[in-house]
Amino acid sequence: MNWLLTQLDRLTERRVRQVAHAHGRRSFVTRLGTALVGGALLPMLPFDRSGQFGSAQAAGAGQPGHKAKTPDANQCDYWRYCAIDGFLCTCCGGTLTQCPPGTEVSKVSWVGTCLNPGDKRHYLVSYNDCCGKGSCGECLCNNNERERPGYRLGVHNDINWCMANTNTMFHCTTAIIVGVA
Protein backbone atom coordinates (compact mmCIF):
# COMPACT_ATOMS: atom_id res chain seq x y z
CA MET A 1 0.00 0.00 0.00
CA ASN A 2 2.83 2.32 0.98
CA TRP A 3 4.58 1.55 -2.30
CA LEU A 4 1.44 2.43 -4.25
CA LEU A 5 1.07 5.73 -2.41
CA THR A 6 4.72 6.62 -3.11
CA GLN A 7 4.28 5.88 -6.82
CA LEU A 8 1.12 7.95 -6.94
CA ASP A 9 2.91 10.76 -5.15
CA ARG A 10 5.80 10.72 -7.67
CA LEU A 11 3.45 10.55 -10.61
CA THR A 12 1.44 13.52 -9.34
CA GLU A 13 4.59 15.53 -8.62
CA ARG A 14 5.95 14.87 -12.12
CA ARG A 15 2.65 15.86 -13.71
CA VAL A 16 2.38 19.06 -11.62
CA ARG A 17 5.94 20.00 -12.64
CA GLN A 18 5.10 19.40 -16.32
CA VAL A 19 1.98 21.59 -16.10
CA ALA A 20 3.88 24.32 -14.20
CA HIS A 21 6.59 24.26 -16.86
CA ALA A 22 4.14 24.57 -19.76
CA HIS A 23 1.85 27.13 -18.14
CA GLY A 24 4.24 29.02 -15.92
CA ARG A 25 4.27 32.72 -15.09
CA ARG A 26 6.50 33.52 -18.05
CA SER A 27 4.24 31.88 -20.57
CA PHE A 28 1.28 33.72 -19.02
CA VAL A 29 3.12 37.07 -19.22
CA THR A 30 4.12 36.34 -22.84
CA ARG A 31 0.53 35.66 -23.83
CA LEU A 32 -0.74 38.69 -21.94
CA GLY A 33 1.89 40.87 -23.68
CA THR A 34 0.94 39.50 -27.10
CA ALA A 35 -2.74 40.19 -26.43
CA LEU A 36 -2.07 43.75 -25.20
CA VAL A 37 0.32 44.71 -28.03
CA GLY A 38 -1.89 43.02 -30.64
CA GLY A 39 -4.98 44.76 -29.27
CA ALA A 40 -3.25 48.13 -29.41
CA LEU A 41 -1.82 47.67 -32.92
CA LEU A 42 -4.90 46.18 -34.59
CA PRO A 43 -6.90 49.44 -34.80
CA MET A 44 -3.86 51.16 -36.36
CA LEU A 45 -3.80 48.84 -39.37
CA PRO A 46 -5.21 50.31 -42.59
CA PHE A 47 -8.45 48.76 -43.69
CA ASP A 48 -10.83 49.05 -46.58
CA ARG A 49 -13.86 51.18 -45.66
CA SER A 50 -15.21 51.14 -49.18
CA GLY A 51 -18.32 49.21 -48.16
CA GLN A 52 -19.39 52.16 -46.02
CA PHE A 53 -19.60 54.45 -49.00
CA GLY A 54 -21.70 52.22 -51.23
CA SER A 55 -24.84 54.26 -50.63
CA ALA A 56 -23.03 57.58 -51.10
CA GLN A 57 -21.58 56.44 -54.41
CA ALA A 58 -24.90 55.09 -55.57
CA ALA A 59 -26.62 58.39 -54.84
CA GLY A 60 -27.50 59.88 -58.19
CA ALA A 61 -29.20 63.14 -59.16
CA GLY A 62 -32.38 63.69 -57.19
CA GLN A 63 -31.49 61.10 -54.51
CA PRO A 64 -30.60 61.86 -50.89
CA GLY A 65 -26.84 62.35 -50.43
CA HIS A 66 -26.36 63.57 -53.98
CA LYS A 67 -24.36 66.79 -54.30
CA ALA A 68 -24.62 68.67 -57.57
CA LYS A 69 -21.35 68.95 -59.50
CA THR A 70 -20.07 72.28 -60.71
CA PRO A 71 -19.64 72.91 -64.45
CA ASP A 72 -16.43 74.84 -63.62
CA ALA A 73 -13.24 72.89 -64.47
CA ASN A 74 -11.27 75.08 -62.04
CA GLN A 75 -13.24 73.63 -59.13
CA CYS A 76 -12.45 70.35 -57.40
CA ASP A 77 -16.07 69.13 -57.60
CA TYR A 78 -16.15 69.29 -61.40
CA TRP A 79 -17.44 65.86 -62.49
CA ARG A 80 -14.28 64.77 -64.37
CA TYR A 81 -12.26 65.09 -61.18
CA CYS A 82 -14.17 62.33 -59.35
CA ALA A 83 -11.00 60.29 -58.70
CA ILE A 84 -8.20 62.82 -59.13
CA ASP A 85 -5.35 63.33 -56.68
CA GLY A 86 -3.17 66.35 -57.48
CA PHE A 87 -3.07 70.07 -58.29
CA LEU A 88 -5.53 70.99 -61.05
CA CYS A 89 -3.60 71.94 -64.21
CA THR A 90 -6.36 74.43 -65.03
CA CYS A 91 -5.03 76.48 -62.07
CA CYS A 92 -1.38 76.03 -63.09
CA GLY A 93 -1.18 77.46 -66.61
CA GLY A 94 -2.43 74.34 -68.36
CA THR A 95 -5.91 73.16 -69.33
CA LEU A 96 -8.14 70.23 -68.47
CA THR A 97 -6.28 68.12 -71.02
CA GLN A 98 -2.97 69.92 -71.61
CA CYS A 99 0.12 70.31 -69.46
CA PRO A 100 1.44 73.81 -68.66
CA PRO A 101 4.40 75.04 -70.75
CA GLY A 102 7.70 73.57 -69.58
CA THR A 103 6.17 70.32 -68.34
CA GLU A 104 5.51 67.03 -70.08
CA VAL A 105 2.67 64.57 -69.73
CA SER A 106 3.26 61.45 -67.60
CA LYS A 107 3.85 58.16 -69.39
CA VAL A 108 1.58 56.31 -66.97
CA SER A 109 -1.65 57.39 -65.32
CA TRP A 110 -4.55 56.48 -63.07
CA VAL A 111 -7.91 55.92 -64.81
CA GLY A 112 -11.09 56.72 -62.92
CA THR A 113 -14.75 56.23 -63.86
CA CYS A 114 -16.87 59.37 -63.47
CA LEU A 115 -20.53 60.15 -64.05
CA ASN A 116 -21.16 63.09 -66.35
CA PRO A 117 -24.28 64.76 -64.92
CA GLY A 118 -24.88 66.37 -68.35
CA ASP A 119 -25.65 63.15 -70.23
CA LYS A 120 -25.88 60.72 -67.24
CA ARG A 121 -23.19 58.50 -68.72
CA HIS A 122 -20.04 57.17 -67.07
CA TYR A 123 -16.72 58.04 -68.66
CA LEU A 124 -13.22 56.66 -68.22
CA VAL A 125 -11.02 59.58 -67.21
CA SER A 126 -7.24 59.33 -67.36
CA TYR A 127 -5.49 61.44 -64.72
CA ASN A 128 -2.11 62.14 -66.28
CA ASP A 129 0.33 64.10 -64.16
CA CYS A 130 2.43 66.86 -65.74
CA CYS A 131 6.08 66.35 -64.99
CA GLY A 132 9.40 68.17 -64.98
CA LYS A 133 8.68 71.11 -62.67
CA GLY A 134 8.16 71.34 -58.92
CA SER A 135 4.67 71.26 -57.37
CA CYS A 136 2.28 73.87 -58.74
CA GLY A 137 0.77 74.28 -55.27
CA GLU A 138 -2.58 75.65 -56.55
CA CYS A 139 -6.01 73.98 -56.39
CA LEU A 140 -5.08 70.75 -54.63
CA CYS A 141 -7.87 68.30 -55.34
CA ASN A 142 -8.28 64.81 -53.89
CA ASN A 143 -11.43 62.86 -54.82
CA ASN A 144 -11.60 59.12 -54.44
CA GLU A 145 -14.60 57.61 -56.18
CA ARG A 146 -13.96 53.87 -56.63
CA GLU A 147 -10.41 54.37 -55.40
CA ARG A 148 -9.06 52.00 -52.74
CA PRO A 149 -6.52 52.33 -49.89
CA GLY A 150 -2.77 52.20 -50.46
CA TYR A 151 -2.30 48.56 -49.55
CA ARG A 152 -4.30 47.73 -52.71
CA LEU A 153 -1.73 49.46 -54.88
CA GLY A 154 -3.27 48.67 -58.27
CA VAL A 155 -6.46 50.57 -57.40
CA HIS A 156 -4.90 53.44 -55.46
CA ASN A 157 -4.57 57.00 -56.85
CA ASP A 158 -2.21 58.68 -54.37
CA ILE A 159 0.82 58.03 -56.59
CA ASN A 160 3.29 60.18 -58.53
CA TRP A 161 2.51 59.21 -62.14
CA CYS A 162 5.71 60.97 -63.28
CA MET A 163 7.59 57.95 -61.96
CA ALA A 164 8.20 56.58 -65.48
CA ASN A 165 9.30 59.92 -66.99
CA THR A 166 12.91 61.06 -67.24
CA ASN A 167 12.16 63.99 -64.98
CA THR A 168 9.95 62.59 -62.21
CA MET A 169 9.06 65.94 -60.60
CA PHE A 170 5.28 66.29 -60.29
CA HIS A 171 3.67 69.63 -61.19
CA CYS A 172 -0.09 69.18 -61.71
CA THR A 173 -2.74 66.73 -62.96
CA THR A 174 -4.95 66.71 -66.08
CA ALA A 175 -8.24 64.87 -66.63
CA ILE A 176 -8.55 63.39 -70.11
CA ILE A 177 -11.59 61.40 -71.26
CA VAL A 178 -10.36 58.12 -72.77
CA GLY A 179 -13.60 56.20 -73.19
CA VAL A 180 -17.20 55.55 -72.23
CA ALA A 181 -17.67 53.01 -69.42
Binding residues for ligand ABN (CB under 6 A) = 85-86, 129, 158-161, 170, 173
Nearer to ligand ABN, 69 or 126 (CB): 126
CB of 88 to ligand ABN, least distance (A): 11
Pick the catalytic residue from 79, 85, 129, 161.
Answer: 129
The reply to whether 110 belongs to the active site is yes
Nearer to ligand ABN, 165 or 173 (CB): 173
CB of 158 to ligand ABN, least distance (A): 5
Q: How far apart are the C-alpha atoms of 53 and 58, rounded to whole Å?
A: 8
Q: How far apart are the C-alpha atoms of 55 and 91, rounded to whole Å?
A: 32
Pick the catalytic residue from 3, 77, 85, 110.
Answer: 110
The reply to whether 79 belongs to the active site is no
* CB contact at 8 A, 92 and 138: yes
CB of 33 to ligand ABN, least distance (A): 38
Burial of 138 (0-12, 13-18, 19+ CB in 10 A): middle
Q: Which residues of 25-42 are buried (b: 16+ CB within 10 A; e: fewer)?
A: eeeeeeeeeeeeeeeeee
What residues are labeled active site?
110, 129
